[in-house]
Structure 1
């Protein structure tokens, strides 16, 4: 399994989860775990995604998710799970 962490943050609105999930589904990336919350109209979501069967690499997936994030008006970050875990240690 090759895992990435996808983070999404921005003003709450309809379609954020659907937009991000659509990009992942289009590339055969599987959402393994997901957590989302809305606090005072601020939407935040963390996904752990398996890209081992995806038809794109992490760089291309990052570009497409960031593009979708811009369309939705949210910030999107995509990190390989090893990089994400290392960042949390600092």
Structure 2
């Protein structure tokens, strides 16, 4: 199964989870696991998502999430699981 890790970090505000979830749904992406916490006023979230039914190109998904992040004032990183795994082994 092709998967990706989506991380979100920024100042907490309403709509972050809704915006990310909506954008993933628009690309037909299923959320497999999610962890989120608020440290002081900083929001952090990590998601493991399935790319099995991804509609369109992975780069288009990254672009859409980056644009969303800019509008919400958060940073969103999206990496394929195999790249994330390789980076964590270094």
TM-score range, shorter chain: over 0.9
TM-score norm. by structure 2 comes to: 0.97
Give the TM-score of the pair, scaled to structure 1. Answer: 0.97
Unaligned runs of 5+ in 2: none
State the alpha-carbon separation in 1 of the partners of residues 56 and 6 from structure 2.
Answer: 15
Deviations 1:11-35 (A, max 9, x none): 0000000000000001110000000
Structure 1 residue 51, shift from structure 2 partner: 1.3
CA distance in structure 1 between the partners assigned to 2:70 and 2:88 by the alignment:
26
Structure 2 CA distance for aligned equivalents of residues 35 and 66 of structure 1: 20
How far does residue 57 in structure 1 lie from its aligned partner after superposition?
2.0
Counterpart residue number, 2:25: 25
The corresponding residue for 1:76 is 76
Looking at structure 1, the residues matched to 54 and 89 of structure 2 have their Cα atoms a distance apart, in angstroms, of 28
Which stretches of structure 1, 4 residues or more, deviate above 3 A after TM superposition? none
Secondary structure of the corresponding residue to residue 14 of structure 2 = coil
Structure 1: where are the runs of 5+ without partners? none
RMSD over equivalenced CA pairs, Å: 0.6
